[in-house]
Amino acid sequence: MVDVSSRCHESVTNICPSPWPLKRRRSAVAENGVLAILVASCARQSLGRDLFFSPSFYNKIIFQPNIDHQAVLTVIQTFRLLILYSQFVVFLVLLHSYEEHWLHTGLNFLLFEMLTVLALLSHAKTMLTDPGSVPKGNATEENIERLQAAEEFKVIYKCQKCCSIKPDRAHHCSVCDRCIRRMDHHCPWVNNCVGEANQKYFVLFTMYIALLSFHALYWGIWQFVLCVGKEWHSCSNLGPPGTTLMLIFLMFEAILFAIFTSVMFGTQLSAICSDETAIESLKR
């Protein structure tokens, strides 16, 4: 049996010695074909000693190095303002018919608020959950030797961009500047990647927003028809022009989000059923 560790020692020590850069690309292959270590050039960076993802969310997720933070905050605040606007319409217009249609209005209000809370919770969970990031700079001599001992026949890949051991089906995100396990895509609406660990929350988020949008569309149309039938008498406190504009904008917002989130929800379900991420389907 060939001593793999001794024959590959020179290549292993050059994988990513902290804090010095790897000067050239090397391949170390054991003579008996047991192991192949593929390494690529990587930039000078501080590697750190912890093999696990840091719990500091604000340093790793929100303040990502390659992202326009102002644009991300604009996107997230726009989403929250649209949710806030829908609540504004509910309390100023849609609940105005409670006295005459208390059962219908009450049930719709409870359903609308329930979907809103679930959508906000799933959005926060998608945004705050580590999507499955691979620790940066974990391609050290100790880790390589440990993997050699555990899986002799496994080919070990290293990402040249974040200097980490790259698991199967992991992809490097240029926005997060790290590899993500089973990365589907990077979503600006949650300022996070959709990957192995948070995909279920993203699926729930798109589903709840789609249901909320369809429900808002139904409730807005119902209220508009009711107001027209009553010739806008006791329809709301805003008068016919203001009520009409608010309902039209609510329905436009509902249609837009219903189409967008329904497509995203269907895409995610298709990816789950086929066991293929969006990146993998594009590379196929």
Place of tokens 């074909």: 33
Q: How far apart are the first and last CA of the chain?
A: 39
Cis status of the peptide bond prior to 19, with omega within 30 of 0: yes
Structure tokens, 183 = 């990365």
Rounded distance between C-alpha atoms, residue 185 and residue 173, angstroms: 8
Contact present, 39 and 11 (Cβ < 8 Å):
yes
- The angle, 0 to 180 degrees and rounded to 10, between the axes of the packed helices 199-229 and 102-128 is 150
Q: How far is CA 146 from CA 8, 11, 149, in A?
A: 13, 15, 5
Contact present, 37 and 8 (Cβ < 8 Å):
yes
**Is 187 part of the annotated catalytic residue set?**
yes
Q: Select which of 8, 159, 176, 187 is catalytic.
A: 187
**Which amino acid is it at 211?**
L
Q: Which of the residues are catalytic? A: 187
